[in-house]
A and B are shown apart, each in its own frame.
Chain A
């Protein structure tokens, strides 16, 4: 069964601290792995997208890693800011029926406190 599991479900950190969010996926055939940021009441916004040949990709203070062998990904946030408070959703993509299909995780809700 194609699925994406994220941990932790929620996380509270202090401003300026680092944190790492985890994602385990089971999709076949795997196409790419994406991380989205979703502010409350808004649609998700893409942070990174990685294919199986990419181990790491950065977008500012966000760094995503991918281990295609263990089917795990992580999103590391450095020097957190209050504006980082949001849900972070891991999305695994697989190719079927002529196009890439997406399986969304339930997200990790991050709260950054001053």
Chain B
């Protein structure tokens, strides 16, 4: 499979628990993005990596959220002390070095916080 892989696809957790999502981008893509999408809305930008460097973080990303991309390959998005408002689809996308910056999205990780 040469697409963007995300794991897990679904996560149900209780409020206050920590969760971690993993994204494996297309291997030759150096750019990686995380987005959050709630029902009936378009994706909202969370953070952007170029190789291993996290170049931008949205103000949506509170202190409870942290993202890493060690070695510039896969990335993880951790949410600590989850709240019900964190329930959403978390989408990962990757892009190559070309100026067009065409994003390829993964299937997403759906989080439900009870």
Contact = CB atoms under 8 A, between A and B. Distances in A.
A43 B107 CA distance: 4
Interface of A: 4, 32, 34, 41-46, 49, 89, 91, 93, 97-102, 104-107, 109
B107 A105 contact: no
Name the interface size band of chain B: 20 to 34
Contact of A99 (B41, B50, B91, B104): B50
A104 B43 contact: yes
B42 interface: yes
Nearest to A90: B42
Contact of B100 (A32, A41, A98): A32
For the complex of A and B, list the 6 residue pairs with the smallest distance between their C-beta atoms, beginning with the closest: A43-B105, A104-B42, A100-B101, A106-B42, A104-B43, A44-B105
Given A41-B110, A42-B108, A43-B4, A102 B103 contact: yes
Contacts of A44: 43, 91, 105
Contacts of A89: 42-43
Contacts of A102: 45, 103
B41 A93 contact: no
B34 to A, nearest CB: 12
B107 A104 contact: no
Interface string B79-114: 000000000000101000001111111111010000
